[in-house]
Amino acid sequence: MTKVTALFLLSLTYVIAQEDPLSCVDRCNIPYNPSDLCHCNTQCTIYSNCCADYDELCTGLTSSCINRCSENFDRRNECHCDDLCKDKGNCCPDFDDFCPNVYEQLTELANDLYYNDINAATQYDVTYDYQTHIPDHNVIEDVSPDNLFKFFNESLFDIPSYKYMRDIFDNYIRYTGTPEDVTQEELDEVKIFLDEVMESYVMKKAHEYLVEKGLVDPDYYVAFRQDLETIWFEMYTRSSGPIDSSGFEHVFIGEIKNNAVSGFHGWLMFYLEEKAGLVNYHGFTSMKEPDTLGLQFHWDGYNKKISSIFTNRSPEFELAIFTVCFKQFPNQLCKFDMAGFPVSIQTWKQNDKYIGSAYVVA
């Protein structure tokens, strides 16, 4: 074989590999494309749809901004996706595909969800008695003698998503370190709730946004639904002991850990526990538009120095916006404008897979 022939065959092999739809040659960390037969970005390991040579060609590369926008600068990375990389000239090649105007894109989505949250409570459904401001949340003192909820229209629980969420509230043992006993009835209640949420406009729009970012599987009713069930409802340990917690329990219900209230960011749970005489509202630490309240309270023998809740938003809205922020900005602040006001949501990962916490910053 002549040298020319060998070079020709080598070039031909390379071209074929480049055009191979089942290879990651020149495709590592490219944006997700549902028409591809297999994938080569970091999400393919989650959805088990990587090309066969993904590990060989793509593992360990940090040359993509997928799931890295607005990250803190780390000099160990070969390229960067922080807010200053444009000025410094060290952005990753796909920065413009994933990171430009992230704030504006999230703002557009958040406003879409907010103004189309058709099951949100109105000012005629719920009224509040905020009472006394607490300037220092480290001082635990009840300075508000009356309940937070002045009026609550209980016909809200005729709305399916509200009703089905309430059905789940009694499924959990609030003490971390105490193993949960999950029954078939409780699993069915979660299924019914998710079935309802999946039919909402806000969740469908959240999924559409996440698919565009390459952060979730485009299969809405199977893969994405399973993803939601996993991150929110799959049980894990929060105490280095038995299976005792879930993202849903922590965020929307609350837990007791180290003799204090942990989580508890759900306004519907707050109302029900206050009505039952188990929550004692101390006062508010902050109030922000839209529908954001920072507060201190006592829950069935335990204190919560400071918490924050969305007020009046539907279960499907909260699940949708928290899921978006968890997927796009895990373990960091997710910032956007909503209804004309700046909003920040903090999410935390648990066991590198589940939602550990999610809450609006008051």
Q: Which residues are catalytic?
A: 250, 265, 304
SS (H, E, C) the chain: CCHHHHHHHHHHHHHHHHHCCCCCCCCCCCCCCCCCCCECCCCHHHHCCECCCHHHHCCCCCCCCCCCCCCCCCCCCCCECCCCHHHHCCECCCHHHHCCCHHHHHHHHHHHHHHCCCCCCCCCCEEECCCCECCCCCCCCCCCCCCCEEEECHHHHHCHHHHHHHHHHHHCCCECCCCCCCCHHHHHHHHHHHHHHHCCHHHHHHHHHHHHCCCCCCCHHHHHHHHHHHHHHCCECCCCCCCCECHHHHHHHCEEECCEEECCCCHHHHHHHHHCCCEEEEEEEEEECCCEEEEEEEECCEEEEEEEEECCCCHHHHHHHHHHHHHHCCCCEEEEEECCEEEEEEEEEECCCEEEEEEECC
